[in-house]
Amino acid sequence: MVDNGKVWRVIGGSAAAIAGVICLSSPNAFADPLPPPVPPVTVTAPVTVAPAANMAAPLGVAPSPAGAATPAAASVAAPVAPTLVPATSGTLTDYFNTKNVRLDPQRAEGFQAFNVTLPMPPGWSQVPDPNVPDAFAVIANRNSPDLYTPNAQVVVYKLAGDFDPKEAITHGFLDSLSLRAWQTTDASLADFCGYPSSIIEGTYGQNDMTLNTSRRHVIVTSGPDRYLVSLSVTSQATRQGAAATADATDAIVNGFRVGPASAPPPLTP
């Protein structure tokens, strides 16, 4: 929708000081003026975290030939995690459909499976927006001078069905790669906070604008359940717009966390 002459569509780096960590509660109906920013708190609840890596059994040491010197200690190479290869077709949604996995949208209000920490840069606020389907939280800088409103969106789905999280996350780039005039600037399939994750950053075209975006998907295990957590941070890519929003967007991307409810938040207001 168009709001005060500015494009408002959520699609979805030195870090500035963070004004707070928002309470991820379910949004209210959209209306102007916006409600005051939510006090800085974090959604918390117990969560069971899967081990980051499996320990390999010690390798056996063959006996030394007669007369040979016996080494003081056997050197054992550390196990190397297999390298994930990005999928070439099928978005995450497509992958889950082929596995008959149901995506149940979650709301921040009353959510207790694990922590979701979303930094709130100075000048940004939590905004209820009906144009964001299944939103867990949406924040934006409504005072930005850019035509496009810089914003960040978090969506959380509970995944009902059987699948391989490592295989699933290899499909995490493809929703971004399908955007018009997409140009990748960075991408990784490295684990995030101990969970399978993908992150891709780049630019794409929307209407007559070029936009910067960073998109991360994380598959979180909480007890017997698994969840897909997605963060999108988007701003205008003009030189003036990028300079004005770089600190804020970097702070969100670098400060975003998922993890056990018992763990302290990584950032302090």
Max avg pLDDT among 11-25, 43-57, 246-260: 246-260
In a domain? residue 69: no
- Domain assignment present for residue 212? The answer is yes
Element (H, E) at 137: strand 137-140
Residue 77 has pLDDT above 90, yes or no: no
Tell me which residue range forms the domain holding 186. 2-47+87-259
Angle, CA 174 vertex, CA 1 and CA 172 arms, to 5°: 100
- Asked whether residue 14 is assigned to any structural domain, the reply reads yes
Tokens encoding 226: 């698994």
Q: In total, how many domains does the chain have? A: 1
Residue 112 pLDDT more than 90?
Answer: yes
Residue 191 has pLDDT above 70, yes or no: yes
Cis check: omega of the bond before 150, within 30 degrees of 0: no
For the segment 128-161, what is each residue's pLDDT rounded down to a tens digit?
A: 877 788 999 999 998 888 888 999 999 999 999 9
Q: Which is more confident, 70 or 163?
A: 163
Here the CATH number for the domain that contains residue 157 is 3.40.1000.10
Asked if residue 268 is part of any domain, the answer here is: no
Distance (Å, whole) CA 263 – CA 83: 29
Mean pLDDT on 111-137: 91
pLDDT tops 60 at residue 168 = yes
Is the model more confident about 64 or about 234?
A: 234
What is the average per-residue pLDDT within 68-87? 64
Please give the backbone phi and psi of residue 137, each rounded to the nearest 5 degrees, phi first.
-160, 145
| Per-residue pLDDT at 68 | 47
Strand-strand pairing, 115-117 and 209-222 = unpaired
User: Of 123, 111, 120, 121, whose CA–CA distance to 26 is shortest?
Assistant: 111
160: how many CB neighbours lie within 10 A of its CB? Answer: 13
219 occurs within a structural domain: yes
pLDDT value for 75? 53
C-alpha 244/C-alpha 241 separation (Å) is 5
Residue 52 counted as domain residue: no
Distance CA 37, CA 56 (A): 49
Range among 20-24, 28-32, 57-61, 203-207 rated most confident: 203-207
pLDDT of residue 129: 72
Q: What angle do CA 102, 126, 236 make, to 5 degrees?
A: 90
Amino acid (1-letter code) at residue 168? A
Question: Residue ranges of the alpha helices (H) in the chain?
Answer: 92-98, 165-169, 174-177, 239-255
For the ranges 25-29, 203-207, 221-225, 243-247, the lowest mean pLDDT is seen at 25-29
Per-residue pLDDT of 192-234, as tens digits, reads 999 999 999 999 999 999 999 999 999 999 999 999 999 999 9
Q: Which of 78-82, 126-130, 163-167 has the lowest mean pLDDT?
A: 78-82
Residue with tokens 């379910």: 26
- What is the percent of the chain where pLDDT is above 70? 67
**What is the 3 state secondary structure string of 170-220?**
CCCCHHHHCCCCCEEEEEECCCECCECEEEEEEEEEECCEEEEEEEEEEEE
Confidence of residue 12 (pLDDT cuts 50, 70, 90): very low
DSSP 71: P
Residue 170 pLDDT greater than 80, yes or no: yes
pLDDT mean across residues, the chain = 76
Residue 62 inside a domain? The answer is no
